Structure formats: structure tokens, C-alpha cells
Amino acid sequence: MTNHHGLTGAHSQAVQRPAAALSVDSINFSYPNGHEVFRAFSLHAKPGEFIVLLGPSGCGKTTLLNLLSGFQKPASGTITINGAPVRPEMPELGYVFQSPQLFPWLSVLENVRFGLRMQNRLNAKEQTEKALHYLALVGLDQAADKLPYQLSGGMQQRVSLARALALEPALLLMDEPFAALDAITRNNLNEETLRLWSELGQTVVFITHDIDEAIFLADRVVVLEIAPGGIHSELAIDISRPRTNLDTRKLPRFVEYRTALMEEISDVVHANLSVL
């Protein structure tokens, strides 16, 4: 596909890092005020696995993502990506946050190019080409010259997904990326996320408190305890891929998983009513 930037778009380049193995081994973490969030917590993701962390508010999901990305350090224990201790500037890491966090004064294209520019990756023409490639993958190459305010919330979150993917991360950390969107847009972006993941193959750690979203996306759903806790339970999602909103969400097995996870979350909440 050639666009008015005179550059080729989707499917012109498919340079991917291999997916990352993530190991969290027996970490302990408390905030400076003494609030303990993790005690001897461990989590492992295989390369290419799609893990969803599910838990009620306050169980430590965001804290865990900050630890996984190296922004916070555990007091003890280790977190490694492909065997190397995690650091925020690792090229293997990509992030998508709950709000798109786009620069309002930069075009959509420049927002997606931004990380490549900051990391001095590629020359200017190649950066633009790569940005357009990932914009095309999220269906927004035609919006390259628009400013963020000209896009809907869902489109802005697509741009932020393209920005993360343009760095070709081996581990993509997604912190409730679609929580602020309406249900229809969220379902569409769930489908979009799976399509991109099946194409690009990175390891994904996705945080949500939405049970249906967790089942739809995951290879494995990890239910977290209220802090200070650990893993309450895990559920392998044995539903074939590709998954689509129309077909997958009505499967009897999907409904069984939903009931099972509602019970797990209810256990977590009822065991901790005093702290919620």
C-alpha cells in the first residue's frame, strides 16, 4: 500500500524481536509508607503467551506493572526478561496505558514515530515508514496527518497501540488500556488486539478488572489476591483461536469460565471485605 507520504504501508516490513520469557521470582514489595503489596510473589510467562492479570481494585495490578517495567524495584526477589534483570529503557518492553497519552500538538504519525526518534532507531525516512506500517496495522494510516483531538477515544487508543508496536517490543505491558472506552469500542479493540498479537507474536501481560475481556483475550487468566497477596488462582483458557466477539463470547465454555472467574473474584473480595 502506498500513501500520500510516498511510503509503503502495511506488510512492507515485518522485523520482529523474538517474544520474551518473563520471570518474576519471589518478589517482595512495600511502598515507602510501609504499605505491603507483594510478599514472595512469583509469575512466569512463556515466550508468546498472552497472560491477563485480573483482580479487584487495590490488589496491586498497577504496582505489578510498574515492577515488571522496572519503574519500581522489589525489595527482594528478581524480575527478568529473557534472563536479564528488567530496566525501563529495555528495548524489549512496550507499554499501552489506560489513557492514550498522546502529545496533543503532534500529528498521529509523529506520535507513533516519537519513540523511534527518542531511541535513535533508524533514519527519518525509515522511522516514518515504520510508523505508517503500524498505523496501517491498526487501520489508521489514513489518519496519519490528523491531530489527536480529531480522533475518537477508541482511535486514539489505537494510535497508542501503534506507538507501542512500532518499537517492536518482545514484551507488551497493557494496563487496562480499554477500560475508559464504551463496551462496543472495547470489544472491537479486544478483537483487534488479538489479530495484531497473532500476527506479531509478542508476549503480552494485560491488566483488567473485566472478566469477559480477560477470558476473550487470554491464554491464561491470573487472579490476584488483595494486597499483600499473591496469586489467588489461575485459569487456562482453552478456547480455540482466532476468537471473534460474535462467536467466542457465546460459547458454553466462555460462559463456564465467566462463572468460574466470578466465583474466584467473589472469594477474593469476601475474604478482604475489611480492606476494600
Ligand X SMILES: Nc1ncnc2c1ncn2[C@@H]1O[C@H](COP(=O)(O)OP(=O)(O)OP(=O)(O)O)[C@@H](O)[C@H]1O
Binding site for ligand X (CB under 6 A): 31, 33, 35, 37, 55, 57-63, 209, 227
Dihedral of the CA atoms 73, 97, 121, 13 (nearest 10)?
Answer: 130
Nearer residue to ligand X within complex by CB, 164 or 268:
268
Nearer residue to ligand X within complex by CB, 57 or 150:
57
Find out whether 96 and 201 touch, Cβ atoms under 8 Å: no
Nearer residue to ligand X within complex by CB, 81 or 224:
224
Strand order in the sheet with 76-81: 36-45, 22-30, 76-81, 84-85
Measuring CA to CA, how many Å separate 200 from each of 41, 57, 256? 29, 31, 30
Cα–Cα distance measured from residue 30 to residue 44, given in angstroms and rounded to the nearest whole number:
21
Nearer residue to ligand X within complex by CB, 66 or 244:
66
Nearest approach, Cβ of 195 to ligand X (angstroms)? 27
Burial of 14 (0-12, 13-18, 19+ CB in 10 A): exposed
Nearest approach, Cβ of 270 to ligand X (angstroms)? 17
Nearest approach, Cβ of 32 to ligand X (angstroms)? 7
Measuring CA to CA, how many Å separate 46 from each of 29, 67, 153, 171, 220? 23, 18, 32, 11, 11
Tell me the helices (H) and strands (E) count for the chain, helix number first.
Answer: 8, 10
Q: What are phi and psi of 209, to 5 degrees?
A: -115, 15
Nearest approach, Cβ of 177 to ligand X (angstroms)? 13
Nearer residue to ligand X within complex by CB, 38 or 257:
38
Nearer residue to ligand X within complex by CB, 31 or 71:
31
Cα–Cα distance measured from residue 163 to residue 173, given in angstroms and rounded to the nearest whole number:
13
Nearer residue to ligand X within complex by CB, 63 or 69:
63
CB atoms within 10 A of CB 32: 5
Nearest approach, Cβ of 247 to ligand X (angstroms)? 30
Nearest approach, Cβ of 240 to ligand X (angstroms)? 30
Q: Which three cell numbers stand for residue 54?
A: 485480573
Nearest approach, Cβ of 228 to ligand X (angstroms)? 9
